[in-house]
Every structure is written in structure tokens, then in C-alpha cells.
Structure 1
């Protein structure tokens, strides 16, 4: 068997398209010959660093996004239900604290990925299915418990996410994404023959499969959408 290729997923839970990309690549984790690495980062830092404009600042783009997410939800089998005020959630409240919390959970795992995967999913669910807050400690606590963290693990993450160590770790991840050429999320980096190949968005999996020497079997290769 050929050696497994590393695929890094840079994402932010404030991004609905990141949720789509996250779920699809998770489904392919055991279908393709890859090692998947989660790379939580801060979308606000990416937009600023790349000089990009959020969709909410371009009226036609924002209008298109709301319709596109409805279609994408059905196609990808992800329960997207935009909040009452997507602009407030995405561009006024932001996700810096949430992504620091995700980073803290990943840091606690020491190289694992089960907890960070489940916590990320619960935070996405709060915003994009239930129209709930993701800026307050009590919101992180609720998401962590739903993700299966114990009370002690949740308490540890809540103490850890405000430390300088975690702030610096999230900043480094965001800077690494910018160094790869990121201008938005989700961004997947496929390491192929020693060279990083960047794919932006949740609609590049067929092209990615071709570059990886794998087969694209649609958004639900094992009909896993029903599990969400």
C-alpha cells in the first residue's frame, strides 16, 4: 500500500461552509488513504491578513450565500439552518473566543482528534442549526458536555482557553494558514509528494480526489448523513 497522505483542514466554526467541508472530509477519512489533521484557526484573522471582504459586505454575495446554504444543506446532508441574523453572528459577535476554546480542547488531547472533532461539531450545531450563542463560557460548557467531555475536562478547557499559550497557538495556526495562501475557510492542504496543494471551499472534493489519486464517491460515500 502506498504511504498515507496528510490532509490538513483549516476551519472556523463561524463559517457554515467550513461545517460542510468538515463533515465531508470526516466521511472520507476512512475511505481515502489519508491522515486527517484538524487545524482550528481564526477566520477574522484570515480575512484581515488576506485583505478579503466578508460576504456580508457585498450585498449580492450575501443574498446568494443564504440561498446556496439551503441547497448545500440538502446536498451534503448537513442540518444547516441559518440564524435569524447571520450578519450579527458572523461579523459582529465573531468567533475568536470559540476558536480559542476549540484550540484548548485540541491542546488537551495531545495529538488526538476525537474531542476536538465533537466539540467543533457541537459549536457549529449551536450556530447553524439552533441559533444559539457561541461567545460565552456557559455556551462552551454546554457544547463540551454535549460532545462528551467530562465535567473535569470541561472545567480544564474553560480555564485553558483564556491563557496566553492558547491565544498564541491559535494565532500561529492562523498565520500558517495565511502562509499557505488562505483567504477564507474551509481550506484543505493536501501534502502530495512533498508539496502542499491548497483547496478552498466545500466544492473542490472531486478535484482533490483526483490530485490524491482517490475516487470521489459523492458527499456521502457510506450514506453517513443520517448520523448528524
Structure 2
């Protein structure tokens, strides 16, 4: 369900004109494959190349959910980054940073922030609108998010409804 929420939010970010900020979260580490190194890698990507975060995230999702690959292996992380369009040198540099206190602390900060919103599972979407914060849990809450944004819900694949998108 996290993957579904991720894909829908990525598809709608330009349609709704929202500032989508993806945050790797420690809860996934505990509940799924023990992917701490992958979460640190995504944190490093976000810190150094935030414009690449969506594609690298998608490639890691594909590794684990479509090809059943071990995303804790350095080669899997490097391959995902390269497939997303990152150079080998960039990806290797980020992989080296996952053991640094700066990256580790940033991931801890992200995790603590999710606790502040009382997040209890994934996916969690936090919307900051007109001075208010709204926490939505579940990939089935996109229609509610569109209501909060004052936007139109066109289903999980908006281009299927409007091919011009």
C-alpha cells in the first residue's frame, strides 16, 4: 500500500501543484526487510540530489517488490541509482555516505518527525495547508487529500482519464 500511495502522489504532484517531500522512514525497516542501509541511501540521495529521490525510490521499490532483490546489498542500491539516471560515481559517493553521522542523524530526524505526527504505519501523508497540518494514513486517502487541497480526484492514473496529462 505504501507503493500505491507513493505512485499516486508522484503522479499528482504537478497536477495539484504540491511540494511533495518524500522521507525515508525507519518503520519500514522494522516491519519489512530490514532495509536500514537502503533507507540511509535514500536519505543521502535526498540530502545531495533531491531531484533524483523519486526515481531512485521507484527503482528500489521495483527491486524489492517486482524482482524480489535484496535492497540491503550495495550492488542493488548502486544499480537502482544508475537505472534512475545517476552516474556510477555519484551513486558510489552516496553509498559511502550512508555510514556517516550526518546521514544517520537525518534518518533519525525523519523517523522522529513521523512519530510527532503519531504515524503508526505506512503510507503516511502529511499535508500542511493554511497553517494547519493534516496527517492521512493509507493509500486509500487520496480522495480525502484532494478535498483538502481543493483539487479534483481523477483516479490513480490521471493520464488514463485525460491523455493530455
What is the TM-score with the length of structure 1 in the denominator? 0.67
Larger RCO, structure (CA 8 Å, separation 6 or more): 1
Counterpart check, 1:220 vs 2:142: no
Distance 1:30 1:106 in 2: 19
Superposition deviation, residue 33 in structure 1: 3.0
* Secondary structure, counterpart of 2:143 in structure 1: helix
Match of 1:173 among 95, 110, 114: 110
**How large is the RMSD of aligned CA atoms in angstroms?**
1.6
What is the total number of aligned residue pairs between the two structures? 161
Q: How does 1:44-59 map to 2 (within 5 A)?
A: 44=28
Hey, what does 1:22 align to over in structure 2?
6
Hey, what does 2:78 align to over in structure 1?
141
* CA distances 1:119-145 after superposition (whole Å, capped 9, x unpaired): 110110011001111111111111111
* Secondary structure, counterpart of 2:159 in structure 1: coil
* CA distances 1:156-212 after superposition (whole Å, capped 9, x unpaired): 111111111101000000100110110011110111111110111110011111111
Match of 1:152 among 82, 89, 92: 89
Superposition deviation, residue 223 in structure 1: 2.7
Superposition deviation, residue 44 in structure 1: 4.9
Distance 1:136 1:158 in 2: 11
What is the TM-score with the length of structure 2 in the denominator? 0.92
Distance 1:201 1:167 in 2: 27
* Secondary structure, counterpart of 1:104 in structure 2: helix
Hey, what does 2:58 align to over in structure 1?
121
Match of 1:104 among 18, 39, 44: 44
Q: How does 1:27-106 map to 2 (within 5 A)?
A: 27-44=11-28, 90=32, 93-106=33-46
| Structure 1 stretches of at least 4 aligned residues deviating more than 2 Å after TM superposition | none
Distance 2:118 2:76 in 1: 32
* Secondary structure, counterpart of 1:26 in structure 2: helix
For structure 2, the residue ranges without an aligned partner over 5 or more in a row are none
Hey, what does 1:184 align to over in structure 2?
121
* CA distances 1:23-54 after superposition (whole Å, capped 9, x unpaired): 10111111113221112221157x7xxxxxx5
Counterpart check, 1:207 vs 2:144: yes
* Secondary structure, counterpart of 2:102 in structure 1: helix
Greater share of strand? 1
